[in-house]
Amino acid sequence: MADEQGLTEAQIAVHWREEEYYHPPASFIGQANAADPRIHNQFREELFPECFKAYADLLDWDKYWHTTLDTSNAPFWKWFVGGRLNASYNCVDRHLEKNRNKAAFIWVPEPEDEETVTLTYQELYERVNEFAALLRDFCGVKTGDRITFHLPMTPELPVAMLACARLGVIHSEVFGGFSGNACGDRIVDSGSNILITMDSYYRNGDLLDHKVKADEAVAVAEAEGVNVDKVLVWRRYPGKYSSPTPMVEGRDYFVDEVLKDYRGAKVDPVSLPAEAPLFLMYTSGTTGRPKGCQHSTGGYLSYVTGTAKYYQDIQPEDTYWCLADIGWITGHSYIVYGPLSLGASSVLFEGVPTYPDPGRAWRIAERLGVNIFHTAPTTIRMLRKAGPDEPQKYNYHFKHMTTVGEPIEPEVWRWYHEVVGKGEAIIVDTWWQTETGGFLGSTLPALQPMKPGSCGPSVLGIYGAVYDENGDEVPAGSGKAGNIVIRNPWPGIFQTIWGQPERFVEVYYEKYCKDKNSTDWRDWPYFPGDGAMQAADGYFRILGRVDDVINVAGHRLGTKELESAALTVEDVAEAAAVPVMDEIRGRAVEIYASLKPGFEADDKAAGKVRQAIRTEIGPIATPKHVWLVPDMPKTRSGKIMRRVIASISNFTDVGDITTLANPEIVEEIQKHVQASKVAQGEAPQELSAVELAEIQRFGQEE
């Protein structure tokens, strides 16, 4: 991974100070699901793959499986073969007998004067059945069809997910904050003919028009040859339409109106093979086309149930709040499927946790008696900046907290522990991905001490390692970084990329595959695309992506997607996207663009590029700056040197540029960009060795 100018792995290690351990409080250990040290024994590598029976046995199966892991079509693993089950039954029906009046979801609307809505398991059961009946009879969908959702954080989203799961229909939720265009692309990729959306939702005090995005999505899909027959529109306030965008006759339907015909309807859960796909979740990669990660029913549900039990420590009396969006994998696995399968009470929050003031999140925790809290470093940084002393003003007590989605800085971790957790809560730093269904790296709460900034060792049944470029293992404690790999399959791993099986093998398995004809899982290590270091205690420190992906506020944005969005502007000839360090979001995006001859490099052009990115992808991708440059630094073969422009944006050394085709352009861009940044109050900040290494290797894959 080291290059001539960059830091070597050993240098990164030297710069990295080992943090001290924090030990789990006795009060936590006394009650934890994972307090029994024998649990490690059950997951010893010699017991693989049968060890995962422990997770699958947490579910109700219509038919028990005969083969735990079938590797015959490597690396398309099949788990729990021969087994049949239904995810909706496991998350809803099976809890009715003992817990019908228990809260399944507690929904907190953003406006503080709106009542909290509690959905008991009984009520969820009724609503899921009615909506499943509507999907089956009004929309005519059947097992194996795909439906796209573009839903915000309201109870209608999990109701729709569970209704699809009941029918064996594959749901594909597109994050509500994504643009209509992004939603349209995903409709096309998945071949959905039904779109489920909502008229409006609250964010930061505004009731946003969301329906308008459905019209854009349908138009994009139609232009690419996919017809959306029906758009189902939930209303934020049933009976009252809160969007200025007209409904389209014969295509758009208000769900609350159609549902009247299905009052009290019941739909038998369809008994599905364990390998039946449950959902698609799109994520970014190195090429522009998004990847629809296909997750299974039996393997996925077993894995999220087991990890929610042992790593989230969810127990019957707990109130669990995962402050993430269901539009991301975190929400699917650890707001909906994992907690519900365990029969938990899961809090859903519509809005922004700092609205109307930085105490909002802690008021919710206090009022609902939340004792398990789960969020991402970007939110923790935001809450810390907006109200560093707020938590102590509220009387809540967490036993357990999670951080997920990006590396957390040790000082932010300590604020989370001392101030948010009041020194009482255990923290798990869970490292994983959209593709992996559930956690891969984390400490086992109660049994393993925490170390700020490190996710911990591999979780139960996962055998992680760090490999160098040749596939040789970099030993733990060697002080060297490399690529983290998982040496074995596990039930939560995605089954394939929807419609792109070759890409699935190429991106995740080809790099370290020992023998392409082998059906032995030992020959197929999984390559997640992250750099990491493993300390002598076996704990991993994740260093970030090794591909062309920028992690903005815990969300993956591919450089190619950003650049293609910029290129939709007529003026733009070439564009390059690079990461820049950001206090709250971890990383932000900066775009460099050169214009075609005859176009004026002015604020208007830069504004068009910014707007194009918002329209194509969504506000989350809004660049911090758009720099219009006369030319890009390029190699002699014409490739844009992203590492050079990333260095300029981050005020770091641009390294050796003598081999470039146009080295003189570097200084010109550097002067302009850095002078403008300083003029806008963006002083150069000192980067850690890890951050420096990320910038210096950015775009190196090219």
Residues near ligand PRX (CB under 6 A) are 283, 329-330, 404-407, 429-434, 455, 528-530, 542, 544-545, 551, 554-556
The minimum distance between CB 455 and ligand PRX, in angstroms, equals: 5
Listing from the earlier edge strand, what are the strands of the sheet with 625-628?
A: 572-582, 586-595, 625-628
Q: Which is nearer to ligand PRX, 179 or 434 (CB)?
A: 434
DSSP 258-315: HGGGGTT---PPP-EETTSEEEEEEE--SSSSPEEEEEESHHHHHHHHHHHHHTS---
Q: Which is nearer to ligand PRX, 440 or 644 (CB)?
A: 440
For residue 105, the one-letter residue type is F
Q: Which is nearer to ligand PRX, 77 or 432 (CB)?
A: 432
Strands 277-283 and 400-404: unpaired
E strands, 131-287, where?
Answer: 146-150, 170-173, 194-198, 200-203, 206-209, 230-234, 252-254, 272-273, 277-283
Q: Is residue 186 a contact partner of residue 282, using CB atoms and an 8 Å limit?
A: yes
Tokens 């369809």 -> residue = 270
Q: Which is nearer to ligand PRX, 170 or 455 (CB)?
A: 455
For residue 503, the one-letter residue type is R
How many other C-beta atoms can be found within 10 angstroms of the C-beta atom of residue 90? 26
The minimum distance between CB 453 and ligand PRX, in angstroms, equals: 9
Q: Is residue 484 a contact partner of residue 476, using CB atoms and an 8 Å limit?
A: no
Strands 194-198 and 200-203: unpaired
The minimum distance between CB 174 and ligand PRX, in angstroms, equals: 14
Map residue 515 onto helix, strand or coil: coil
Return d(Cα 550, Cα 532) in angstroms, integer.
Answer: 16
Return d(Cα 257, Cα 236) in angstroms, integer.
Answer: 13
Q: Which is nearer to ligand PRX, 188 or 304 (CB)?
A: 304
Q: Which is nearer to ligand PRX, 118 or 700 (CB)?
A: 700
Q: Which is nearer to ligand PRX, 86 or 551 (CB)?
A: 551
b/e code 356-380 from CB counts within 10 Å (16+ = b): eebbbbbbbbbebebbbbbbbbbbb
The minimum distance between CB 148 and ligand PRX, in angstroms, equals: 19
The minimum distance between CB 297 and ligand PRX, in angstroms, equals: 20
CA 339 to chain centre: 17
> In sequence order, which residues have a C-beta less than 8 Å from that of residue 386 and are 6 or more positions away?
354, 358
The minimum distance between CB 560 and ligand PRX, in angstroms, equals: 16
DSSP letter at 498?
T
Q: Which is nearer to ligand PRX, 390 or 429 (CB)?
A: 429
Return d(Cα 254, Cα 653) in angstroms, integer.
Answer: 57
Q: Is residue 537 a contact partner of residue 552, using CB atoms and an 8 Å limit?
A: no
Q: Which residue number is nearest to ligand PRX in terms of Cβ? A: 434
H helix or E strand, kind and range, residue 679: helix 664-679
The minimum distance between CB 432 and ligand PRX, in angstroms, equals: 5
Query: Alpha helices, DSSP H only, in 483-576?
Result: 501-508, 559-566
Q: At what angle do helices 603-616 and 180-190 cross, to 10 degrees?
A: 40
The minimum distance between CB 408 and ligand PRX, in angstroms, equals: 7
For residue 370, the one-letter residue type is V
The minimum distance between CB 439 and ligand PRX, in angstroms, equals: 8
Q: Which is nearer to ligand PRX, 104 or 542 (CB)?
A: 542
The minimum distance between CB 491 and ligand PRX, in angstroms, equals: 17
Q: Which is nearer to ligand PRX, 33 or 430 (CB)?
A: 430
Q: Which is nearer to ligand PRX, 193 or 330 (CB)?
A: 330
The minimum distance between CB 144 and ligand PRX, in angstroms, equals: 25
CA 83 to chain centre: 28
Cis peptide before 75 (omega within 30 of 0): yes
Q: Which is nearer to ligand PRX, 201 or 328 (CB)?
A: 328
The minimum distance between CB 678 and ligand PRX, in angstroms, equals: 31
